[in-house]
Amino acid sequence: MTTTSLTKSRGAGRAGDKVFSGATLAAGCLILAVLFGVALFLVVQAFPALVASPDKIQGGQGFFAYIWPIVVGTLIAAVIALAIATPVAIGVALFISHFAPRGLASGLGYVIDLLAAIPSVVYGAWGAAFLAKEISPLYNWLADNMGWVPLFQGPASATGKTILTAGIVLAVMVLPIITSLTREIFLQTPKLHEEAALALGATRWEMIRMAVLPFGRAGIVSAVMLGLGRALGETMAVALVLSSGALTASLIQSGNQTIAAEIALNFPEASGLKVSTLIAAGLVLFVITLGVNMIARWIITRHKEFSGAN
């Protein structure tokens, strides 16, 4: 008798389970399919440029000679953006989560979130019309006093429309992303661990170093990677701010170019092999972003044992 009552199952509940697991599986597969589709499109469309004879590619020296300066330019802009944005974002997030009085904290958090809502073209216009002009005296000073460092070799750009300006604009754009994410992580630090540090005689800053930052480590890396994703892919702001040119080591001269801006500026008038070349550039950007994300994953999992998740 008991066996029959056990083998009977509630039909409706089981059906709900099946529908739900089916829906989640479909959603997961859809993501993979979209990713695969994009990759396939990029490879197929880029193929002509990759196999074309070198003299037919823009610049006349083949695809590799065309792509590597703008890859380096993209990375320079992204590195500048993250180098500026990461410490500021973590500082602001810590201030909001652990130092500011409650009223100020929520107001400040709101303002930071608003920064993310500004369209990138507005940032671009602000960078080109305002920041570039205001910052060019600084570039002149850098050229005069720090000119022996290749990064600050003069003569400085008169308009200020340099890769450094573009990097600063990108930094402002990725700041809200990193700040919001890290703030949420810092707020989730277990009270127990914070109190453990304080009870040992830690100051507030020492408590943050002992309990908050280690706990948030994986989250900080993820937040920075999301910011990096935006910095790598940002098109409009860079296209407006940067007066592009050949690859140059100096950050305060005009020159350099990023992949995204290169595609945006040239795509409307491109045809034939030129289109393939630009799509190939897009493929390279795709691969870079993928690589960056994989490295981030690796960094996060490397210390899994110590993550506090077990």
| Pick from 168, 193, 164: nearest CA to 255 | 164
> Which tokens hold the place of 76?
């320079």
Q: What is the smallest separation between the CB atom of 193 and another protein, expressed in angstroms?
A: 6
CB-nearer residue toward another protein: 117 or 192: 192
Q: What is the smallest separation between the CB atom of 83 and another protein, expressed in angstroms?
A: 25
Q: What is the smallest separation between the CB atom of 198 and another protein, expressed in angstroms?
A: 6
- The answer to whether 281 and 260 have CB atoms below 8 angstroms apart is no
CB-nearer residue toward another protein: 58 or 307: 307
How many CA atoms are closer than 13 Å to the CA of 95, on its beta-carbon side? 13
DSSP state of 160: -
The DSSP code sequence of 184-222 is HHHHTS-HHHHHHHHHTT--HHHHIIIIIHHHHHHHHHH
Q: What is the smallest separation between the CB atom of 190 and another protein, expressed in angstroms?
A: 8
Measured CA to CA, the distance from residue 126 to residue 210 in angstroms comes to: 40
Q: What is the smallest separation between the CB atom of 104 and another protein, expressed in angstroms?
A: 14
CB-nearer residue toward another protein: 218 or 237: 218
| Pick from 50, 66, 70: nearest CA to 58 | 66
CB-nearer residue toward another protein: 200 or 246: 200
Q: What is the smallest separation between the CB atom of 211 and another protein, expressed in angstroms?
A: 7
Q: What is the smallest separation between the CB atom of 185 and another protein, expressed in angstroms?
A: 13
Measured CA to CA, the distance from residue 7 to residue 20 in angstroms comes to: 22
CB-nearer residue toward another protein: 204 or 297: 204
CB-nearer residue toward another protein: 31 or 104: 104
The DSSP code sequence of 68-96 is HHHHHHHHHHHHHHHHHHHHHHHHHHHII
Write out the residues near another protein by the rule CB under 8 A.
Answer: 102, 190, 192-203, 206, 210-211, 214-215, 217, 303, 305-308, 310
| Pick from 220, 215, 222, 230: nearest CA to 293 | 222
CB-nearer residue toward another protein: 51 or 199: 199
| Pick from 73, 43, 36, 65: nearest CA to 234 | 73
> Which tokens hold the place of 293?
């994300």
